[in-house]
């Protein structure tokens, strides 16, 4: 199989159809998983932990583990209104997100099985404590914020854009060892 070395060769633009893009084998057969946007959204909704990456106003890269809740194809994260996450994300308004998807069941307790991953870039909006957006979402995301902080907590709304890039989602554990068979690019819809 040929190695793709540039963005153009890898066809890295946004796709508009519902079928994932896989990497062709030498004989032109597709090796990657056939995932739909709905498959990926279901996997995201079943999880609650993600890593968000962002850039500080001075240009320094940062990342942080967060607990999230999915509501209407958006992720919501509760943060302290004066936290560095709230300040830095609000200043730039963009984040990168990776959601680890644990694989292997009981086997993962005795064998080092890496998680599958779902990665994407997104627009991020910090809603201040007490705002109408936060009040209207409290029913659905209230479990993210302790009762005593529900009136003072800010919410980061994460809106995925472009495409989900997955690794190991929709393939067997054995197939995860083969990068070409484990990668997929699925449009965010």
Q: Is residue 158 part of a domain?
A: yes
How far apart are alpha carbons 55 and 64 in whole angstroms?
A: 11
Domain of residue 173, residue span: 37-187
11 phi and psi, to 5 degrees?
Answer: 50, 55
CATH number at residue 179: 2.30.110.10
* DSSP character string of 139-179: HHHGGGS-GGGTTT-EEEEEEEEEEEEEESTTS-TTGGG-H
Q: Is residue 27 part of a domain?
A: no
- Number of domains forming the structure of the chain: 1
pLDDT in tens, 105-133: 888 778 888 899 999 999 999 999 888 88
Q: Is residue 24 part of a domain?
A: no
Q: Is residue 20 part of a domain?
A: no
Residue 19's pLDDT is: 46
pLDDT in tens, 5-22: 333 334 444 334 444 454
Q: Is residue 14 part of a domain?
A: no
Q: Whole-prediction pTM value?
A: 0.80
């Amino acid at each position: 199989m040929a190695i793709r070395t540039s963005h153009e060769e890898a066809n890295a633009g946004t796709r508009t159809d519902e079928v994932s893009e896989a990497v062709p084998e030498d004989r032109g057969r597709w090796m990657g998983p056939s995932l739909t946007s709905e498959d990926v959204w279901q996997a995201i909704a079943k999880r609650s932990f993600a890593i968000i990456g962002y850039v500080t106003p001075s240009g320094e890269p940062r990342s942080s583990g967060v607990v999230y809740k999915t509501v209407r194809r958006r992720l919501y994260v509760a943060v302290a209104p004066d936290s560095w996450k709230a300040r830095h994300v609000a200043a730039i308004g963009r984040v990168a997100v990776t959601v680890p998807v644990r694989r292997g069941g009981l086997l993962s307790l005795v064998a080092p099985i890496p998680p599958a991953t779902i990665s994407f870039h997104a627009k991020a909006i910090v809603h201040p404590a007490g705002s109408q957006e936060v009040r209207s979402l409290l029913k659905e995301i209230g479990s993210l914020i302790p009762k005593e902080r529900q009136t003072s907590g800010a919410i980061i709304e994460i809106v995925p854009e472009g495409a989900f890039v997955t690794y190991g989602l929709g393939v067997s554990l054995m197939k995860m060892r083969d990068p070409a068979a484990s990668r997929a690019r699925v449009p965010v819809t």
